[in-house]
Amino acid sequence: MTIGKRWRGTSALTITVLVAGMLGALGLAASPASAQKALTVKTTSLPAAPEGSVYSVKLAASGGVKPYTWSIVGSLPAGLTLVPATGLIQGIAPIGTPVADDQFTVQVSDSETPAATATADLSIQVAVPPPLQLTTTSLPAATAGVHYSQKLTATGGAEPYTWSIVNNALPPGLTLQPDTGVISGSPTAGGNFRFTAQVSSPTETKTGPGTDTSTATLSISVTVATLWITTDGDPLPPATVGVPYSVKLDAAGGITPYTWALDTGTLPPGLKLHPATGVISGTPTVGGSFGFSVDVTDSEPQPQTESLTASMTVGSPLAISADLPAGTAGDPYSGQLTASGGTAPYTWSLYDGSQLTDGLSLGPDGSITGVAEGGGIVSFTVEVTDATGLSAIATYSINVGYDVGQ
C-alpha cells in the first residue's frame, strides 16, 4: 500500500513537471489568476451639471477583464441615466433647487468568471448657470458711407442667443443680425443714435420652456466726411466734333447718392450732364473752347454742396491734306502730308500693308522724302492718329516719271 501511494504521487508530480516543461518550451507561462491586475474605478470626481443643460460624462475603469458592465448603487440626480455597457452618464440636469452634494455609488463588473467588481463613491452637483448678461458697454463711432461691423457680446444663460433692438433704432443703413449679434452696413445719415439692444436665451423652468433676457442701452456716433469733388476739371479731356464723348465727374465724402447740376456757363453743344451719375456725354456738334461750373449735392438732411470749375476744348474732326508733286526717277523727292483737327501731336504710319515705291519713305512729321528708284504711279494709304487715339485714313498717289533727257 505504501508503494502504491508513492507511485500515484510520483505520477502526479511527473505530469505537472511535463506540462510546465512543455509550456516553457513553447515560450508560454502559466500565470495564476491572482497575478491579474485588480479591477478599479479610475473616475474620482464628476463635473457639475448646470440645471436644465445637457450633461454627458463617461466613467473610466482599469484592470480586470474587459468588457465592463456599469451600475448605480443608489440613484443619480433626476433626469440623468447611466448606460451600463459604456459607463456614460447622460441626460438633462434637473430644474429647481440646486443639489449641493447628490452622492451615489458606481459599480463596475468585469467579464471574469466569477466577475470581479469595484466601486467608487461619487457626486454630481446640479448648479445654477450664470445669469444671462449683455456685456457690450460701448460701440465705436462710424463714418457715413463707410462699411461698419461690430459684434455684440453676452455671457451666461444658454446658447444659442437671439439678438434684437427693443427701443429706438440703429443709425439708418445699419442692421443687427439676430443670430450673431453683428451690427453691420454703411450708415446713410450723421448724428448720435441711442438705442436699446436685447439678448435672449432659452431656459427651462418647472412649468416648461422659458426665455431669459438682458438689455443694454448703447449708442453709435456717425460722422459725415466733408463733401469734395475728386475730378480735376482744368481742363477736362478734349472732345472732337462728331465723335462720341463721355467723361465722369467724381466726388467723395458726404452721403451718397449725389446729385449733379450745371451751375454757370454752358456745356459744348451736343453734350449734357447726367444728374444722377455726374457723367458728361454726347456727341459735340460745334468746336471751340467752353468754360462752365457744376455743383454736386449729397443726400444729408442738411445737404452739403461743392462746386467744380471746368473747361473743355472741342476740336474739329481729324482730317488729312496732301501736297504731293510729281517726281522723277533718280532725283530727290519731297512731299508733305498734313493733319488738321483732332488733338496734336499726331502720329503717322502706312495703313494696312501699304508701301511706297523703293527709295521713298514716310517721316514722323508726315513728310515723304527720298530718291525714287523707278517710274510709274505710286499709290499708298496713310493713317494719322491724334493724342486722344482718334485716327483718319486717306489714299494718295505720286506720279514718278523718267527724265526724257536721259
Q: Under DSSP, is residue 336 helix (H, G, I), strand (E, B) or coil?
A: strand
Task: For residues 121 and 235, give the distance between their C-alpha atoms in angstroms, rounded to a whole number.
Answer: 91
3-state secondary structure of 358: coil
Asked if residue 375 lies in contact with residue 330, where contact means CB atoms within 8 angstroms, the answer is: no
- C-alpha triplet 90, 96, 101: angle, nearest 5°: 65
Give the Cα separation of 329 and 327 in Å (integer): 7
pTM beyond 0.75: the answer is: no
The DSSP secondary structure of 27-76, one letter per residue, reads T-----GGGSPPPEE-------EETTSEEEEE--EESSSSSPEEEEES-P
Residues 255, 256, 259, 263, CA torsion sign = positive
Rg (CA), the chain: 49
Pick the CATH number of 228-315 from 3.40.50.10490, 2.60.40.10, 1.10.3720.10, 3.30.70.20: 2.60.40.10
Same fold flag, 38-127 and 319-401: yes
The domain at 133-223 falls in which architecture?
Sandwich (2.60)
CATH architecture of residue range(s) 319-401: Sandwich (2.60)
- Extents of the domains making up the chain: 38-127, 133-223, 228-315, 319-401
**Ramachandran quadrant class, 341 (left: phi over 0; alpha: psi -120 to 50; beta: rest):** left
Q: In a structure prediction context, what are the per-residue pLDDT tens digits for the chain, which is 406 residues long?
A: 333 333 333 333 333 333 334 444 444 444 444 457 999 999 999 998 877 778 899 999 999 999 999 999 988 988 899 999 999 999 987 766 555 567 899 999 999 999 999 999 999 988 777 889 999 999 999 999 889 999 999 998 877 899 999 999 999 999 999 999 999 999 988 899 999 999 999 876 555 677 889 999 999 999 999 999 999 998 999 998 998 999 999 999 998 899 999 999 999 999 999 999 999 999 999 999 999 999 999 988 889 999 999 999 998 899 999 999 999 999 999 999 999 988 889 999 999 889 998 899 999 999 999 999 888 898 999 999 998 888 999 999 999 998 765 5
Give me the amino acid identity at 371: V
Phi-psi map region of 372: left, alpha, beta (phi>0 left; psi -120 to 50 alpha):
beta
CATH classification for the domain delimited by 38-127, as one of 1.20.200.10, 3.40.50.980, 2.60.40.10, 3.40.190.150:
2.60.40.10
CB neighbours (10 Å) of residue 126?
24
Q: What H or E segment, with its residue span, contains residue 381?
A: strand 376-385
Strands (E), 250-301: 251-252, 259-265, 271-273, 279-282, 288-297
